[in-house]
Amino acid sequence: MKSMILTAVVAASLSTAAYADGHATANPMVGGAEMFADKTIVENAINSADHTTLVAAVQAAGLVDTLSSEGPFTVFAPVNDAFAALPDGTVETLLMEENKDQLVKILTCHVVAGDVMASALMGMIADDGGVYEVATVGGCTLKAMIEDGMVKIEDESGQVATVTIADVDQSNGVIHVIDTVLLPAM
């Protein structure tokens, strides 16, 4: 019962795509920009001032066409500060052509096949006893959990990201903004 109540409280606090009078509310603003449900993941990310590093990485990795395709995809989108928190020189090194395979692996570990809204993810977490294993298109296995009323995503190296903005609806999926770059096991 306590788990069901916690899930309901977290769902209410995270769901920014709530419904009122049968109509969806507007998407949340991300990086100072309006996000449009009729635009793709890439089209919206380009407008977010908080995702310029992610957009540059997606372009360098050659993933623009993939993330602009029909999908659907769920993207855990790290903000610029998450990339800046990596060791000095990491981003610059990853953006080099000779490191494209490694960059693709890291970026695709942020992408899940399907359109997974926060309420569905929280239901899966509850159904699996507090931790839900998320398979990514990059072959990584992430662990989703709820801690301190927030959805957290643990990567294969043990780093934990917090979902800071959930349910940014896209024409080809959904974005959940996170505060940490997720890394595959090395």
pLDDT digits (tens, 9 = 90+) for 61-90: 999 999 999 999 999 999 999 999 999 999
Query: Residue 162 — pLDDT band, cuts 50, 70, 90?
Result: very high
pLDDT averaged over every residue in the chain: 87
Query: Each residue of 5-36: pLDDT tens digit?
Result: 333 333 333 433 333 333 355 789 899 899 99
Per-residue model confidence (pLDDT) at position 25: 56
Per-residue model confidence (pLDDT) at position 26: 76
Per-residue model confidence (pLDDT) at position 2: 35
Mean pLDDT value of segment 140-168: 96
Residue 76 half-sphere exposure toward CB, CA atoms < 13 A: 34
CATH topology of domain 2-178: FAS1 domain (2.30.180)
In the block, which residue shows the tokens 């100072």?
32
Q: Where are the alpha helices (DSSP H) in the chain?
A: 2-14, 41-47, 52-61, 64-68, 80-84, 90-94, 100-108, 118-127
Q: Which amino acid is at 124?
A: M
Percent of the chain with pLDDT over 90: 82
Residues 6+ apart with CB under 8 A from 132: 121, 124, 125, 143, 144, 145
Q: Which amino acid is at 33?
A: A
> If DSSP codes are grouped into helix, strand and coil, which group holds residue 120?
helix
Between CA 80 and CA 118 the distance in angstroms is: 22
User: Domains of the chain: which residue ranges?
Assistant: 2-178
